[in-house]
A and B are shown apart, each in its own frame.
Chain A
Amino acid sequence: NAGVTQTPKFQVLKTGQSMTLQCAQDMNHNSMYWYRQDPGMGLRLIYYSASEGTTDKGEVPNGYNVSRLNKREFSLRLESAAPSQTSVYFCASSEVAGLGSYEQYFGPGTRLTVT
């Protein structure tokens, strides 16, 4: 049981390049999330998918797109990377169903540098 996995772990891009960050979970969770973590800013939600087939914008969606490929996988795409997107990206999942839920499980993160 791997939990939440993310690939790649590290990536360096040049300004204007595109890339897709992959995330998968094996806990049969309905909801998945993408965050970015920057010093002094905490975690900020980029996009989330409350259930398979739905996606919604979070706090900082500009410059990103997402795809909920199936219940397990939720990818984040940077179409034209900018230096402001240099960050650590975390994927998370949770089972959103009734009381006692909403706890999120996090992946190991992707450290992205855009030069």
Chain B
Amino acid sequence: AQSVSQHNHHVILSEAASLELGCNYSYGGTVNLFWYVQYPGQHLQLLLKYFSGDPLVKGIKGFEAEFIKSKFSFNLRKPSVQWSDTAEYFCAVRDFQKLVFGTGTRLLVSP
């Protein structure tokens, strides 16, 4: 079965700093990858997804992620974070008919 690792559990940044959150999945082949965001007190929302094609995926709110097959990675990036990006971020990989989620990264952006 697939598994997902998110190595950064807590990240603190100042506004306008660049963001990169790591995500690694366990084995190759055809993969479907996702990043979800959970704002405080809310449910998970999809930021972006990768199914095939261009390995650089652009999502909502200025986020992007790069699929690197050789590294089994799907890192999330944003060039300049805002205070409103404070949230928890989850990487997920499809495992047959299910999604397997990482343990999440809490991002705190200070104004």
Q: Decide if B43 touches A48 in the complex (CB within 8 Å).
A: no
Stretch at the interface among A11-19, A67-75, A103-111: A103-111
CB < 8 Å neighbour of A106 from B44, B98, B103: B44
Q: Decide if B43 touches A109 in the complex (CB within 8 Å).
A: yes
Q: Decide if A102 touches B90 in the complex (CB within 8 Å).
A: no
**What mask results when residues 30 to 54 of chain A are scored 1 for a CB within 8 Å of chain B, else 0?**
0101010000111111001010000
Q: Decide if B34 touches A103 in the complex (CB within 8 Å).
A: yes
Residues of B within 8 A of A (CB): 6, 9, 32, 34, 42-46, 49, 51-52, 90, 94, 97-104
Residues of A within 8 A of B (CB): 31, 33, 35, 40-45, 48, 50, 58, 90, 92, 96, 99-100, 102-109
What are 14 sample pairs from A and B whose C-beta atoms fall under 8 A apart?
A: A42-B6, A42-B102, A45-B98, A99-B52, A100-B51, A102-B32, A102-B94, A102-B99, A103-B49, A104-B44, A106-B45, A107-B43, A108-B43, A109-B43
